[in-house]
């Protein structure tokens, strides 16, 4: 009789243990399922928010740059090869000597193709600009710059600033600035060689 009771007691104890383990397993599975569900929900919310913001960014981009596709097409267009009209010449001269030099500069100057200016140290007493020679401009006053070189001439400062002054004019479609003085005429006379040489370089890379 006692043996039967003991057996029944053991069976009841075993059943309780099994039930407890089953309950623990069920609870564990529920926790795992809940965690997975929360993870999926978070991911969905994240992608939904990201997509929404992405659409907003596209809308803003369309508002700010409505013609961006056209702009990109223009940038991708092949630019024409460099020619003499893409070069802006800057010639350093003096009001005292220009009258004697102007005829020589007309040899290479082509009013229908070449562009540039003669930069003088002071205005001419009588205007001598003609269609067959470069336009005349007066260089900025450089007296504020110190010149401590023991040799040479202070006019070197003015001549060196001609490229800067030419750039500040903001002339359209200039790819190269060529500067020289009135004594370097052979350089300009062979202007075809200049623009052919300039055409081999990447002017866009040098302007960045």
Q: What is the average pLDDT score of the chain? A: 70
Residue 19: strand, helix, or coil: helix
pLDDT tens column, 167-196: 999 999 888 888 877 665 545 544 555 555
pLDDT tens column, 10-62: 555 655 554 455 455 656 666 666 667 666 667 666 666 555 555 554 554 55
Residue 142 pLDDT > 70: yes
Helices (H), 65-173: 68-76, 98-105, 155-160, 162-168
Residue 202 pLDDT > 80: no
Predicted pLDDT of residue 74: 59
Closest CA to 136 of 174, 89, 203: 89
- CA 129, CA 132: separation in Å to the nearest integer? 8
Q: Please say whether the beta carbons of 99 and 128 come within 8 A.
A: yes
End-to-end CA distance of the chain: give it in Å, rounded. 104
Residue 88 pLDDT > 70: yes
pTM of the model as a whole: 0.53
Predicted pLDDT of residue 169: 92
- CA 125, CA 196: separation in Å to the nearest integer? 38
């Amino acid at each position: 009789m006692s043996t039967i009771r003991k057996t029944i007691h053991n069976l009841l104890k075993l059943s309780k243990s099994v039930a407890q383990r089953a309950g623990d397993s069920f609870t564990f599975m529920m926790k795992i399922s809940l965690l997975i569900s929360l993870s999926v929900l978070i991911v969905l919310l994240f992608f939904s928010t990201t997509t929404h913001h992405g659409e907003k960014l596209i809308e803003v981009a369309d508002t700010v740059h409505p013609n961006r596709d056209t702009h990109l097409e223009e940038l991708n267009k092949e630019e024409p090869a460099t020619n003499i009209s893409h070069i802006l010449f800057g010639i350093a001269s003096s009001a005292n000597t220009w009258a004697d030099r102007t005829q020589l500069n007309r040899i290479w100057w082509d009013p229908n193709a070449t562009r540039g200016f003669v930069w003088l140290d002071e205005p001419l007493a009588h205007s001598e600009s003609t269609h067959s020679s470069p336009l005349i401009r007066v260089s900025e006053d450089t007296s504020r710059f110190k010149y401590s070189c023991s040799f040479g001439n202070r006019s070197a400062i003015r001549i060196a600033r001609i490229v800067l002054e030419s750039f500040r004019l903001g002339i359209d479609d200039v790819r190269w600035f060529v500067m020289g003085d009135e004594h370097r005429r052979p350089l300009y006379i062979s202007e075809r060689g200049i623009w052919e040489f300039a055409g081999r370089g990447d002017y866009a890379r040098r302007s960045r």
